[in-house]
Amino acid sequence: MKATERILNILIFTFLYAPLLVMVVFSFNASKSTAVLSGFSFYWYKELFASSDTITALQNTLILAVASATIATVLGLIAAVGIFRMRSKPLRNTVMTITDIPMMNPDIVTGVSLMLLFVFIGRLLGLANSLSFITLLIAHITFNLPYAILNILPKLRQTDRNLSYAAMDLGCTPVKAFFKVTMPAIRPGVLAAWLMGFTLSLDDFVISYYTNGASFQTLPLKIFAMTKKTVKPDMYALSSLIFITILVLLILVNILQSKSQKDNNRTLKKE
Amino acid sequence: MKKTLFPLLLVTMLALVMLCSSCGSEPTEEEVVFDPEALTGTYSREYEGTSINVFNWGEYISDGTEGTLDVNAAFEELTGIKVNYTNYESNEAMYTKMKSGAVSYDIVIPSDYMIQRMISEGMLQKLDFSKIDNYENVLPEYRGLYFDPEDAYSVPYTVGMTGLIYNTTMVEETPTSWGIMWDERYADDILTFNNSRDAFSLAQLLLGQDVNSTNIADWDAAADKLKEQNAVLQARVMDEVFNKMEAGNAAIAAYYAGDYLIMVEENEDLAFVYPEEGTVFFVDSICIPSNAQNYEAALMYINFLLETQIATANAEAIAYASPLINVRENEDYYYYQNEVLYPTEMPELQYFTDLPVDVRTYYENLWEEILRESE
């Protein structure tokens, strides 16, 4: 039984990580070929930074991911608090369903419908460029928002409502009570919401394809446009860098979280 | 502890952004340097602070990698005009994006048949050739082409031809005909195009047809020929052809001449030939869309692309043939007098023109049938 379990585990992890491994290996390839390994070199990592074009696309992608994740988290936090405090259960359920729908919706439908909306508004306003960075940002916030709410709401449910009442009793304003009492309790949820938004935005292709404008291109769009010729290994280098950055960040988050958990347990024991 | 997490993340991300932008300006050793002294056109800083939106094929410009010239950066440095550079992967994708009316570009570089369609739909505007003094570099044979007979809307950027690539260790003879792509001796070692128009053209050339035939019977005959080919094909590919040919996984492939030059650098056993039946030819030309916002700056950009050092850098990066005399006569040009790009004896050439919708639908249906049968 244990042996099959182990084999299954190995298989699963091979399938998950083999493609990434191959990409990382080829990013260190000395030649241009993606078929023949001809030696170890950092050449493509150096090349990567030589193209202003690629760097602009990377910068665009990161700016968009940080901005959309941050705005979606703030909006999601506000929305989650609002939903949490709703008195009527049917109303709360309705609102939850409505926020869930964009998540279930296929990307292509979201992308096309957002584009139609932006073009329609752009025509009304008489804009020459109805698609721009702003529309791309709005689109990314749109698909990040349900995930933000979904991450924050369960954390809110776990909190004790009376704690914030107690804080207000002791002289806090409602806002102060929220930041002093509720916020620390739901912080992991908020952080998870931000991280999820960041990664979703980072790798979104379909929605960006329909909503990007003439002056702002993200990395996934740039890589897709390379399919007529061949994708050069500098893209493997870039993808490897992104993968390693995310991996390190996640490990860091986990370490810090388990540490703070231990701290909490210790203080609980002392009490 | 947790308090530090979120700002920490943000700082890391921002640091990454900063790091990237600082690395971008670091020069590499053998870098080609932009020389403003050598320019022949006239450029002003009149439009400094404005920007132009350039919409081009992916990997279709010299972008500063591998010690080449960064064309867009050079233009920005020279004129102070910011270049917003974005890419598309096919003529059709570019057409759809522009047709949505949601975006305005100042420069697009479509292929011949697409230019014909865009002109007829009023999507392009006439160029003021008095502002493009480097236009004199365009060779006479690339002027007045069928899609723009009066030379009013377009300036050629690259030209290319389809040819036969083969691996000399696997193919003994020197192929002379497209017929070798039907040869049973090389069964399972043959690659053809995975797009209908290019794949059909090979059968049409072999059958001696006009690739722009509007006669349904011609298309039927070509389709039968392609069905026959199913038995010997290894795969229908586009950019996978690079890997397969470089690694020696296939013996024969039809692809664009310039791309052969990239493959042969990785595998010197590869050879190239233009079959005797002739071949098809494409031109990608620079145009200005009718809803461009910065017409004057766009003209300046076109003029800039025709400069010897710029056009040479682009021709080397793309590896397709250049329609410019100043590039072809430049002895420093990496592909100077290259027999593949500039054959002394030109093969017989046919252009793809934009076909009527009913013919297009007809052959697309045939194509679906061929693909179904190959499964």
Tens digit of pLDDT for each residue in A236-256? Answer: 898 898 888 888 878 887 887
Using an 8 Å CB-CB cutoff, list chain B residues near A225. Answer: 57-59, 87-89
Looking at the DSSP assignment, which residues form a beta bridge with residue B125? Answer: B288
Question: Would you state the torsion angle of the CA atoms of residues B197, B198, B202, B203, taken in this order, to the nearest 10 degrees?
Answer: -30
pTM for the structure as a whole: 0.85
How many domains is chain B partitioned into structurally?
2
Contact B86 A215 (CB under 8 A): yes
Question: Cβ atoms within 10 A of the Cβ of A106, count?
Answer: 9
Using an 8 Å CB-CB cutoff, list chain B residues near A118. Answer: 102
Three-state secondary structure call for residue B90? coil
Q: Are residues B206 and B287 in the same domain?
A: no
Contacting residues for B107 by C-beta, under 8 A, at least 6 apart: B52, B53, B54, B55, B56, B286, B287, B288, B292, B298, B301, B302
Specify the residue for token string 């593949």.
B340
Within-domain flag for B343: no
pLDDT tens digits, B342-375: 999 999 999 999 899 999 999 999 999 999 988 7
In a 10 Å sphere around its CB, with 0-12 CB exposed, 13-18 middle and 19+ buried, how is residue A191 labelled? buried
| Out of B20, B239, B246, closest to residue A35 by CB | B246
Q: What is the pLDDT of residue B22?
A: 46
Three-state secondary structure call for residue B286? strand
Distance CA B250, CA B361 (A): 32
B282 token code pair: 């494409």
Contact A55 B24 (CB under 8 A): yes
Best probe of the A interface among B4, B12, B17, B54, by most A CBs < 10 A, is B17
Looking at the DSSP assignment, which residues form a beta bridge with residue B85? Answer: B54
Q: Are residues B129 and B182 in the same domain?
A: no
DSSP 8-state secondary structure symbol assigned to residue A56: H
Nearest chain A alpha carbon to B32: A50
User: Chain B window 267-306: which residues touch A at a Cβ cutoff of 8 Å?
Assistant: 291, 293
Q: Are residues B212 and B196 in the same domain?
A: yes
Range of the domain at B361: 160-281+348-374
Q: Are residues B153 and B165 in the same domain?
A: no
User: Who has greater pLDDT, B109 or A1?
Assistant: B109
Q: What is the pLDDT of residue B21?
A: 47
Nearest chain B alpha carbon to A221: B87
Contact A49 B103 (CB under 8 A): no
B351 token code pair: 């252009």
Contact A62 B87 (CB under 8 A): no
Beta carbon pairs, A and B, within 8 Å: 179
Using an 8 Å CB-CB cutoff, list chain A residues near B4. Answer: 256
Using an 8 Å CB-CB cutoff, list chain B residues near A62. Answer: 13, 16-17
Contacting residues for A250 by C-beta, under 8 A, at least 6 apart: A195
* Of the candidate ranges A48-52, A192-196, B121-125, B263-267, the one whose mean pLDDT is the lowest: A48-52
Question: Cβ atoms within 10 A of the Cβ of B363, count?
Answer: 20
| Out of B63, B65, B89, closest to residue A228 by CB | B89
CB B192 within 8 A of CB B199: yes
Query: Please, which pLDDT band fits residue B228 given cuts at 50, 70 and 90?
Result: very high
B251 token code pair: 């013996």
CB B20 within 8 A of CB A53: no
Query: Please, which pLDDT band fits residue B4 given cuts at 50, 70 and 90?
Result: low
- Mean pLDDT estimate for chain A: 88
Q: What is the pLDDT of residue B24?
A: 42
B10 touches chain A (CB under 8 A): yes
Contact B63 A33 (CB under 8 A): no
Within-domain flag for B12: no
B18 token code pair: 């900063």
Query: Please, which pLDDT band fits residue B66 given cuts at 50, 70 and 90?
Result: confident
Q: What is the mean pLDDT of residues A212-238?
A: 86
Using an 8 Å CB-CB cutoff, list chain B residues near A74. Answer: none
Q: Are residues B356 and B223 in the same domain?
A: yes
Q: What is the pLDDT of residue A229?
A: 77
Count Cα atoms within 13 angstroms, Cβ side, for B323: 27
Contact B103 A129 (CB under 8 A): yes
Q: Are residues B41 and B93 in the same domain?
A: yes
Nearest chain B alpha carbon to A209: B97
Q: Are residues B265 and B166 in the same domain?
A: yes
| Out of A131, A225, A226, closest to residue B103 by CB | A131
B63 touches chain A (CB under 8 A): yes
Contact B105 A63 (CB under 8 A): no
Q: Are residues B132 and B66 in the same domain?
A: yes
Percent of chain B with pLDDT over 70: 92
CB A235 within 8 A of CB A177: no
Q: Are residues B244 and B365 in the same domain?
A: yes
Q: Are residues B150 and B78 in the same domain?
A: yes
Residue B273 scores a pLDDT above 60: yes
A165 token code pair: 């009442």
Distance CA A135, CA A211 (A): 6
Query: Please, which pLDDT band fits residue B100 given cuts at 50, 70 and 90?
Result: confident
* Terminal-to-terminal C-alpha distance of chain B: 59
Specify the residue for token string 């349900």.
A146
Q: What is the mean pLDDT of residues B269-293?
A: 95
Q: Are residues B52 and B141 in the same domain?
A: yes
Distance CA B76, CA B72 (A): 6
Q: What is the mean pLDDT of residues B326-339?
A: 94
A72 token code pair: 């979606």
| Out of B60, B238, B266, closest to residue A32 by CB | B266
B170 touches chain A (CB under 8 A): no
Nearest chain B alpha carbon to A120: B102
Helix (H) or strand (E) holding B20: helix B5-24
- Domain A55-218: CATH superfamily is MetI-like (1.10.3720.10)
Within-domain flag for B313: yes
Q: What is the pLDDT of residue B298?
A: 97
Using an 8 Å CB-CB cutoff, list chain B residues near A133. Answer: none
Residue B99 scores a pLDDT above 50: yes
Within-domain flag for B81: yes
User: Chain B window 139-168: which residues touch A at a Cβ cutoff of 8 Å?
Assistant: none
| Out of A58, A130, A234, closest to residue B65 by CB | A234
DSSP 8-state secondary structure symbol assigned to residue A180: I
CB A98 within 8 A of CB B60: no
| Out of B102, B104, B242, closest to residue A118 by CB | B102
Q: What is the pLDDT of residue B54?
A: 96
Q: What is the pLDDT of residue A260?
A: 72
B9 token code pair: 């993340």
Query: Please, which pLDDT band fits residue B27 given cuts at 50, 70 and 90?
Result: very low
Within-domain flag for B334: no
Using an 8 Å CB-CB cutoff, list chain B residues near A134. Answer: none
ipTM rounded to 2 decimals:
0.82
Q: What is the pLDDT of residue B25?
A: 42
Distance CA B203, CA B226 (A): 7
pLDDT tens digits, A23-76: 898 899 887 776 677 888 888 888 888 888 888 999 999 999 999 999 999 999
Nearest to A220 by CA among A200, A196, A204: A204
* Of the candidate ranges A135-139, A194-198, A262-266, the one whose mean pLDDT is the lowest: A262-266
CB B298 within 8 A of CB B276: no
B22 touches chain A (CB under 8 A): no
Q: What is the pLDDT of residue A50?
A: 82
CB A164 within 8 A of CB A182: yes
Contact A214 B8 (CB under 8 A): no
Using an 8 Å CB-CB cutoff, list chain B residues near A256. Answer: 1-2, 4-5
Q: Are residues B169 and B272 in the same domain?
A: yes
Q: What is the pLDDT of residue A269?
A: 66
Contact B102 A213 (CB under 8 A): yes
User: Who has greater pLDDT, A160 or B79?
Assistant: B79
A142 token code pair: 């749109």
Q: What is the pLDDT of residue B266?
A: 85
Query: Residue B258's domain is classified under what CATH number?
Result: 3.40.190.10
Residue A107 scores a pLDDT above 60: yes
Angstrom distances, CA of residue B263 to CA of A257, B270, B313? 50, 8, 19
DSSP 8-state secondary structure symbol assigned to residue B152: -
Contact A215 B73 (CB under 8 A): no
Using an 8 Å CB-CB cutoff, list chain B residues near A234. Answer: 65
- Mean pLDDT estimate for chain B: 90
Distance CA B147, CA B154 (A): 9
The pair phi, psi for residue B215, each rounded to 5°, is -85, 120
CB A34 within 8 A of CB B242: yes
pLDDT tens digits, B128-183: 999 999 999 999 999 999 999 999 999 999 999 999 999 999 998 999 999 999 99
Using an 8 Å CB-CB cutoff, list chain B residues near A115. Answer: 100, 102
Q: What is the pLDDT of residue A203?
A: 84
Using an 8 Å CB-CB cutoff, list chain A residues near B12. Answer: 245, 249
pLDDT tens digits, A40-55: 888 888 888 888 888 8
